[in-house]
Amino acid sequence: MIDLHTHTNESDGTFSPRELIEAAQSIGLKALAITDHDTLTGYDLAVPHATRADIELVCGVELSIHCRGRSIHLLVYFLRNQPTDDFRQWLLSLQAGRRRRNEALVGKLCSQGMPMTLEEVAARGGKLLARPHFAAVMIEKGYAASRREAFDKYLDESGSCYVPREEPEFEEAIGRIRAAHGIAVLPHPSRIGWSGEQIEPMLGAMCKAGLKGIEVYHSDHSPAEMDFYLHLARKFGITATGGSDFHGATKPGIELATGKEGNLKLPYSILEELRKLP
């Protein structure tokens, strides 16, 4: 088995890079991709542990971008080379934008009667703060009863405290990825909110711009959704990928490699197909 979508505490996961490698080794994973949000630090720190564990470690990152009026994510894999220095510098600029958003989010929460500090959020989060860390503070302070409530009422795009990210446009992101010799994949398409009629023309345009794959197999996807996204992958001639989107304690019920209630079992051939891409 393999898992091509995981997170460490260098972004919004709860496992350290070493702990994630140890967990992968304990279940016999052959290959693992670390795809933290806007940072490669988790991957960098995991390299020596993966070498000792004899696990094939894939360099990846998950980006937040703006596409056709929506905020979506892109997974990027580096399979033949390490990310360029220019790409790493670009990630640092994205992290700076994330910090500005977090500062604005604290201000908005405080203005709505939910006082907290960025330091309090940082104490409960990883190295790169994200909305799940804010939700954790909100629950501890009694502002929300659950993570879902925190997001639904306050943190999601429809929430009263939502602050948009400074996100690059899809075309810019693809250009950066191509220049760094990375492979761009659309993750968890079911979360975007496009209807069946909307996603086909959108995906077609993204493929023409340089998208190389779609995450068919994901913890959130039902068997019917997996069949549908596999159909789209074949229709547009892109690679079908998959991963659990493992975060540890911040996403209970999502297990490394096997997803939600065992809905995933990803063969090594998925990684082999990715490696065939030009």
Please say whether the dihedral angle defined by the alpha carbons of residues 178, 182, 183 and 184, taken in this order, is positive or negative: negative
- 101 near 164, Cβ under 8 Å? yes
Average pLDDT, the chain: 95
C-alpha atoms less than 13 angstroms from C-alpha of 74 in its C-beta half-sphere: 29
Q: For residue 76, what is the enclosing H or E element?
A: strand 70-78
With bands split at pLDDT 50, 70 and 90, how would you rate the model's confidence at 58?
very high
Q: What CA–CA distance (Å, rounded) separates 274 from 14?
A: 28
Residue 258, SS3 per DSSP: coil
pLDDT single digits (tens) 125-145: 667 888 888 999 999 999 999
pLDDT for position 126: 63
Query: All domains of the chain, ordered by start, with CATH?
Result: 2-85+169-275 (3.20.20.140), 92-155 (1.10.150.650)
Joined tokens for residue 153: 């009422």
| Phi, psi angles (nearest 5°) of residue 59 | -80, 125
- 71 near 164, Cβ under 8 Å? yes
Joined tokens for residue 270: 């998925």
Q: What CA–CA distance (Å, rounded) separates 241 from 271?
A: 8
Q: What CA–CA distance (Å, rounded) separates 238 from 30?
A: 24
% the chain with pLDDT above 70: 99
Q: What CA–CA distance (Å, rounded) separates 125 from 121?
A: 6
pLDDT single digits (tens) 191-242: 998 887 889 999 999 999 999 999 999 999 999 999 999 999 999 999 999 9
